[in-house]
Amino acid sequence: MDLSATAAELDGMRQRVREIETALRDVEAEEARIADELAKVEVQAGYYDSLAGDMKRDLQPPNLAGLIRSLRW
C-alpha cells in the first residue's frame, strides 16, 4: 500500500468518525426528548390513577356506619 492510499484511507476513516459522532449526538438528543416525554406521561398516569381512585371512593355504596351518621342531625 502506498502513502497516498494510506492517506486516503485515513481521510475516509476520519470522515466516518465524524459521521458516527453526528449520529451519536442525534441519538442523544432523541433520548433526551423521549425522557422528557416519558416524564410527562408518568405525571399524567399518576394524575389519572389518583382520579380513578377518587372516583372509586365517590361511587362506593355507603357503609352502615356512614349511613347512620348521615341521618343524624
The single-letter code of the amino acid at 37 is E
Band the pLDDT of 44: cuts 50, 70, 90.
Answer: very high
pLDDT score recorded for residue 13 = 98
State pTM to two decimals.
0.57
- What do you get for the CA distance between the two ends of the chain, in Å? 102
Q: Is the pLDDT of residue 73 over 90?
A: no
Where do the DSSP E strands lie in 1-73?
A: none
Average pLDDT score over residue span 15-36: 98
Average pLDDT score over residue span 56-69: 70
The single-letter code of the amino acid at 18 is R
Band the pLDDT of 53: cuts 50, 70, 90.
Answer: confident
Residue with cell 381512585: 53
Q: Return the domain boundaries, the chain.
A: 3-71
pLDDT score recorded for residue 55 = 72
Q: Which three-class secondary structure state does DSSP give residue 55?
A: helix
